[in-house]
Each structure stands twice: as C-alpha cells, then as structure tokens.
Amino acid sequence: MPEILWTIARRLREFVGNRRSPPRRRLRLAVAVSLLDAGGRAHPATLSGYTYDVSESGLSVVLPAIRVGERYLVGESHTLRIVLKLHDAHARLYGTPVRYERLDADPQETGYLIGIRLTETEDPDYAAFVEYLKTVTGKA
C-alpha cells in the first residue's frame, strides 16, 4: 500500500510542481551501492545501477534489486555507500534510504527506484560531488 501512495505523490509533483529543496536534476550516472555494517565496513557484495535524479541533499538510484545477498538495502538503520562515476573521477558518498518503489509501469525502466538522503556532507568526496553538480547544471 505505501508504494501506491508514493506513486501518487510522485505523479502529483509532476503536475503541480516539486517544492523540495534543493532542486533535483535528472542526471544519469553509473552507480555502485553497497550496504555498510554496524562497524562502518562495506559488505563485499554491491549492486550496480544508475542515478535517476540527483541533488545536493540526496539522490534516487535505479537498481535491479533491493537486496544484497540476504540483506535488504532499505531500512531505518541502514547506511549505504554509493560510488558515483563522474566524468573522470569517482565520488564515494554515504546515505540512508528513505523510500523505494518498484518500477513496473514503464517497460524501459525495470528494478527498483530507491531514494537516498545523503549524510556525511563534510567529506571531500561530497564536496567534489557538489562541484560536479554545479558544472553540469550551470550554477556557479
């Protein structure tokens, strides 16, 4: 049932306007996501996918599954390591999943859309990510 509500809210935002801040930009970047354990170490298994949209505060990624091995990526206390492929570099970001949605309405998109709120914004990779966003969106 919550998936239906998120879908309705997303569709409503498309028609009425999106009031989230900062603005999200549609940008497709290669991404690898892994789940961190309680000690902050990443599990060796990762899922590869791509970004659906990005902003300074979070991003949405499309992944083929919501589980890595026997563990779910989404959950209240989960921390994800997200490695983004920028033009000539990589940015290692950290975040917490805030929602997910199965993609089945569009035959072009398959898998799961996972919304991630970025954390650890004092990290140098985060700063590089923000600078990259400024260059591709034209904001100085």
Q: Is the CB of residue 49 less than 8 Å from the CB of residue 66? A: no
What is the topology classification, in CATH, of domain 24-137? Thrombin, subunit H (2.40.10)
Distance from C-alpha of 80 to C-alpha of 21, rounded to nearest angstrom: 22
pTM, two decimal places: 0.78
- CA 62 to chain CA centroid, Å, is 8
Q: Who wins on pLDDT, 120 or 30?
A: 30
Question: Token pair 């805030």 is at which residue?
Answer: 98
Q: Spell out the residues 6+ positions from residue 52 whose beta carbon is closer than 8 angstroms to its own.
A: 26, 28, 59, 60, 61, 62, 113
**pLDDT tens digits, residue range 64-94?**
998 887 888 887 778 899 999 988 889 999 9
Q: Look over the chain and give the mean of its residue pLDDT values, rounded to a whole number.
A: 83
Distance from C-alpha of 128 to C-alpha of 130, rounded to nearest angstrom: 5
Show me where the domains of the chain are located. Answer: 24-137
